[in-house]
Structure 1
Amino acid sequence: MARALITLLLLLATTSSYAEKRPEAFRTIDKLFAAMSKFDHQKMRSTVTDSFILLEHGEIWTIDDLVKVVKPSGYTRTNYFSIINYEQQGDLLTINYWNKANFTQKGASEEVIWLESAVLAKVEGDWLLAQMHSTRLPAGKTPDKVNFIEQKL
């Protein structure tokens, strides 16, 4: 019984640490969403390649399109992530993750969750986003057994 419990605990620890382990390139995704939270358009642009494309809930966006929707306003955005998996092959990384944002304004809050994937390329020593795909979940639908980790700005 004790051996089974120890095995189960080791399995859970390994699974959760893998889910929370972030590759170096994930810092670029962190930077993008931190810049979005701060409405810093220049910093947003600094995280992507010249040919960046975002497939946003059925639409094709460039960085210019993304910048246009990130407008300064009275809300506060808090970001949370949960990495599903990733694979790095040389200077290219693909990553799949959950993204949750909590928007708070005047005491009211709204939670939005996306299932996302990204392709990052190492360009002149820096990881940059080449492509993202984002699917917004219906309001009120939260994925089961996902451990969201709050982004530290």
Structure 2
Amino acid sequence: MKKTTLSSLILLLLLACDVNHTPKNAAISEKEVTTCIEQFFEALANGDSLLLKQTLSKDFYMFEHDEIWNTDSLLALMSATLGRKWSVNEERITIIDNTGHISYFNQGIIPPDRSWLESALVVKENGSTKVVFLHSTKLYLK
């Protein structure tokens, strides 16, 4: 009887301690996914290397223009993207736990003659959202 009571008490204490426990990787929201993508483009347009690093995971990679890009190659490209503006449209977002997948039509505003079909994988870890992967297919306007 004493063992059962003691075991029950220990179990009760363990459960009570876990009541206010927040999972390390809480679910991501659609808003967090779109905000992360917006910050990615904002960083490129403004040459903000700190913001770009904050929006990309440590193992980020990207497929675009028949190349594989990473954080370092994007940072090297930033001078060519200064002042550019993009409009992300027709977003489709799928959420599974702490991971969001977004696909969208990306229309260049400055310069206006460029557009892409893109998709990205965004993960929320320790309260921060990061782009893990981005795929971009340039559309050639006629």
TM-score bin, normalised by smaller chain: 0.7 to 0.9
Match of 2:113 in 1: 111
The two structures, once aligned, show a CA RMSD in angstroms of: 1.8
TM-score by length of 2: 0.72
Determine which of 112, 129, 132 is the counterpart of 1:130: 132
Q: Deviations over 1:3-31 (max 9, x none)?
A: xxxxxxxxxxxxxxxxxxx5322101100
Whole-angstrom distance in 2 between the partners of 1:101 and 1:45: 23
Q: Deviations over 1:56-101 (max 9, x none)?
A: 132111011111111068x632220113411100001111001122
> Would the aligned equivalents of 2:33 and 2:102 in 1 still touch at CA under 8 Å?
no
Q: Comparing both chains, which one has the higher relative contact order based on Cα–Cα distances under 8 Å and sequence gaps of 6 or more? A: 2
Match of 2:65 in 1: 57
Structure 1 gap ranges (5+): 1-21, 104-108, 142-153
Whole-angstrom distance in 2 between the partners of 1:76 and 1:53: 23
Structure 2 gap ranges (5+): 1-29
Which 4+ residue blocks in structure 1 deviate beyond 2 angstroms? Answer: none
Determine which of 30, 42, 63 is the counterpart of 2:50: 42
Determine which of 90, 100, 105 is the counterpart of 1:83: 90
Whole-angstrom distance in 2 between the partners of 1:82 and 1:58: 23
Percent identity of the aligned residues?
A: 27
- SS of 2:103's equivalent in the other structure is strand
C-alpha displacement of 1:110: 4.0
In the alignment of these two chains, the number of paired residues is 113
Whole-angstrom distance in 1 between the partners of 2:104 and 2:33: 13
Decide which structure has greater helix share: 2
> Would the aligned equivalents of 1:39 and 1:72 in 2 still touch at CA under 8 Å?
no
